[in-house]
Chains A and B, each alone.
Chain A
């Protein structure tokens, strides 16, 4: 795909406020346009209204069919169980087994009729395989009960069935139940015969009582199922209008008409977003509603006995709207932003598939058993909202209310990001008028080399992040257990840092950019910022530890993981202090910062992407840490590091801050063990390890504010987000244009 020139491809953001009247106008037009489209009407309205009743009718018929289908069983060798309690008489099961044998076709065959035939085994097997019988029971001659069985092996009754056939499986289950009961009777008869009171065989009786109120019981299934179906439809319902309203309009040429009208870009985005969200909600409501009504009817008809699934409760399901509105808007904004990249409807469908793949797990997550609304899960986008609605449907209002602020805060943040992304897409020329030329590998490689710039381009920065994460994933898979000596430990820590984090960034910097120093952001920052970064590292550490504790409390580390970490922790504790600092503070600080706050940051910060650079590098940095608890802490730290990188325009303060923080983390217990009187004001040793003194904690908070204030007022020596200076062709242009560009 062709991308437009870097320096100017995004117009400066509009300063004018969007007019409500214009948004409404665009919204109404888009809605009318979609409603006049037969395809849209079919998918969003006709299909759900027709589909579910049709499926329901089909289900009812299938249910009748299965009820009528008889299970056929062949019983061979009944003559061998004459002395046992009676099981069959006149070709059918006797009381009390006959009640288990409902709808069961039994054929009794004598052993002798088959024994003459030498292919007895193959004959019975054939019966099962060609479906003559669903199961065959064979009583061997040894079963005769009158023989003294004390020194003989236990006789086995053979049950032939076919696991590949559902009917055969059902037959097996039913026959097993009958035989189990028969065996029970046989045992008690034998015991009674030898004078034992059979009553004593059952010391207790089980009685289970379900205390869940009727409403919850019914809701339990539906509160899992219905939101899932609704959200999947909300997604699907957003995709097709989004493709049509952006990619389709691009294809038909009407988007440019709208873009050169006086409507502001923001008005266009809001109008289209409103229309897409409306269709998303409409699709979801119609589908869920139709399904609710149909299934209520079907379940009433079938009436599955003993099943926890009842007819869905209709009124509590109204709570679903709480989730539907914000999530529909979220999906719509994402779909709109992604669809904007496509040049045609067909291309749009290709682009939306990956989006579906990313969002679907978030919708499926709440379906997992044991997923409940907690502080941790409430912060997962989409999933949190889903769980909140579930507790509302199930009537647990206090719990829902408790997590409401977090769920809504998270959803609002995601929504804001998605809408901002969509708006930016509409301000981006490369996205709206992307080139039409063919992509070819050799041409692309030549382009990479020929059009190298001093810093990475945005796609290159993303690619670098992706390469690092994928490499780390496979690196972890390949890593073999805990190391048992110092060399092994060194290798385990250093090789991913150098080989999987620093190497990709360094290689890309050498091969794809013209200046290693600029692309890795190795610049001399303001002199004072160096001690300030170290100071911030020290003052921030108590807060960072508290954050870590909070995270561990919210998302507890499994005992298994803790046990797996133990040898590693012990080994680290046994090495010399300087070496630990080198391994776990110096190396990661340099490698990770050069990659994340260096190469990737420099690429992402271009074209006014300050927020993007900070957030994306923080996220990548977080994910690179491998397991959840560390990732969250690292992402928070990453945001701060990214902000410092932005303020100072250099990677060096980040390296120092990162180093200080890591070094303190690995040396804290050793410092406390020294028992120096000076440090006792700062640290105390507790059972869980060293802890900062409360007074020091407060002092650190104060210092942190000061340091942060310093960085906030610092002026970056370079404006990396506006990279006109890097434009190689600019020097060909007259001076006047150079000064004016920007």
Chain B
């Protein structure tokens, strides 16, 4: 469903010069799978996901979503993707219902298709009580639900959640994770990025650990634990980060080429 190959993004930055935000990142995500991107702040997760949602263009490398190339066919990519991020806010002066319908209409849905779909989403996400509340008056949890409904209104095969639990209270965050699990059951392809390890552990089928623009390792939780001989996930994560920072760059390059191929054989099985 999603194929990312040697994706690189370089910014011109005043203080750091040419700053490599994403450095030769490769991974694949399959249908019915939740793929977790785990990394500290500034690891490049958001940049990767922004490239996938075609908001940013890559400096080099390729990415396809549902078979469409993000560079050459961005419009088709946007039609098959739903993007929820803490950067994608909702309009203050629009009610929940208006907003979801608006994005449905932008997707080219007719009123006939739109009405049952919006009703279904509002039921599923339990949003009916604030159907006519304008965005400015909603709580963070309500806003997040509206964002999810907005991203799902056209029933896309791929859904991307970028730090989606940020700022949510425990109850709402838990609800969100349930929604995401339910989406996997219906065969969607999901990417979930976060810096919270427990969420990844509970939710994701496969995990990619990102740091300083690189993917340090990819695999199922069991794979990772076996490969690094470390049962404690938190220890594993920090160990990987500190080893990356101390080791020579070249040895990591070889490691990456090895790691990228590994999940392709084992990933779908999980």
Residues of A in contact with B (beta carbons under 8 Å apart)? 2-12, 14, 16, 19, 21-22, 25-26, 29, 32-33, 36-37, 252-254, 256-257, 259-264, 429, 432-433, 435, 437, 439-440, 443-444, 447, 450-451, 727-729, 733-734, 736-738, 740-741
Contact = CB atoms under 8 A, between A and B. Distances in A.
Contacts of B87: 253, 256
Contacts of B105: 25
B74 A257 contact: no
A446 to B, nearest CB: 9
B6 interface: yes
B14 A740 contact: no
Interface string B1-35: 00000101111111101101000100000000000
A737 B13 contact: no
Given A257-B150, A261-B78, A2 B13 contact: yes
Contact of A260 (B11, B78, B102): B78
A73 to B, nearest CB: 64
6 contacts: A8-B57, A11-B57, A253-B87, A253-B88, A433-B56, A734-B6
Given A257-B150, A737-B61, A451 B75 contact: no
A481 to B, nearest CB: 47
B94 interface: yes
Interface string B55-85: 1111111100000000110110011010101
Contacts, number: 133
Given A33-B91, A261-B107, A262-B79, A256 B24 contact: no
B14 A443 contact: yes
A294 B62 CA distance: 64
Nearest to B154: A262
A8 B53 contact: no
Nearest to A252: B89
B27 to A, nearest CB: 16
A451 B24 contact: no
A532 to B, nearest CB: 38
A256 B74 contact: no
A451 B18 contact: yes
Nearest to A3: B12
A256 B88 contact: yes
Contacts of B74: 11, 14
A429 B88 contact: no
B197 interface: no
B102 A5 contact: no
B93 to A, nearest CB: 4
B93 A37 contact: yes
Contacts of B194: none
A444 B6 contact: no
Contacts of B86: 253
Contacts of A737: 6, 8, 24, 60-61
A451 B10 CA distance: 13
B61 A740 contact: yes
Contacts of B60: 8, 733, 737-738, 740-741
Given A3-B12, A10-B57, 8 more contacts: A2-B13, A11-B74, A14-B74, A32-B94, A263-B106, A443-B14, A733-B8, A734-B6
A685 to B, nearest CB: 60
B92 interface: yes
Contacts of B147: 257
Contacts of B106: 22, 25-26, 261-263
B53 A2 contact: no
Contact of B15 (A8, A22, A443): A443
Contacts of A729: 10, 18, 20
A10 B85 CA distance: 22
Interface of B: 6, 8-15, 17-18, 20, 24, 53-62, 71-72, 74-75, 78-79, 81, 83, 85-94, 102-103, 105-108, 147, 150, 154
A254 B91 contact: yes
Contacts of A5: 9-12, 18, 59
Contacts of A734: 6, 24
Contact of A262 (B15, B58, B78, B92): B78
Given A257-B88, A257-B90, A261-B103, A439 B14 contact: yes
A252 to B, nearest CB: 6
Contacts of A741: 59-60
B11 A2 contact: yes
B20 A2 contact: no
Contacts of B78: 260-262
Contacts of A263: 106
Contacts of B6: 734, 736-737
Contacts of A257: 88-90, 147, 150
A439 B88 CA distance: 26
Contacts of A29: 94, 102
Nearest to B20: A729
Which of A257, A259, A437, A727 gathers most chain B CB within 10 Å? A257
Contacts of A740: 60-62
Nearest to A12: B71
Contacts of B12: 2-6, 451
Contact of B85 (A12, A256, A435): A256
Contacts of A32: 93-94
A334 B123 CA distance: 44
B185 to A, nearest CB: 25
Nearest to B82: A260
A7 B59 CA distance: 7
Nearest to A728: B18
Nearest to A34: B93
A21 B15 CA distance: 44
Contacts of B8: 733, 737
A433 B94 CA distance: 24
A435 B90 contact: no
A157 to B, nearest CB: 72
B186 to A, nearest CB: 21
Nearest to A33: B93
B81 to A, nearest CB: 8
Instruction: List the 3 shortest-distance A-B pairs measured between CB atoms, nearest first.
Output: A253-B89, A737-B60, A257-B88
Contacts of A37: 93
Contacts of B79: 262
Nearest to B52: A260
A525 to B, nearest CB: 31
A423 to B, nearest CB: 15
Contacts of B103: 261
Contacts of A16: 75
Contact of B89 (A254, A440, A447, A728): A254
B2 to A, nearest CB: 15
A33 B90 CA distance: 12
Given A256-B87, A260-B53, A737-B60, A450 B13 contact: no
Contacts of B57: 8-12, 429
A29 B102 CA distance: 8
Contacts of A262: 75, 78-79, 106-108, 154
Contact of A4 (B11, B15, B72, B150): B11
B201 to A, nearest CB: 28
A733 B24 contact: yes
A642 B59 CA distance: 29
A2 B19 CA distance: 11
Contacts of B85: 256
Nearest to A741: B60
Contacts of A6: 12
Nearest to B6: A737
B14 A447 contact: yes
A252 B88 CA distance: 9
Nearest to B103: A261
Contacts of A433: 55-56
Nearest to B76: A262
B14 A8 contact: no
A573 to B, nearest CB: 53
B25 to A, nearest CB: 12
Nearest to B13: A2
Nearest to B92: A252
A560 B147 CA distance: 69
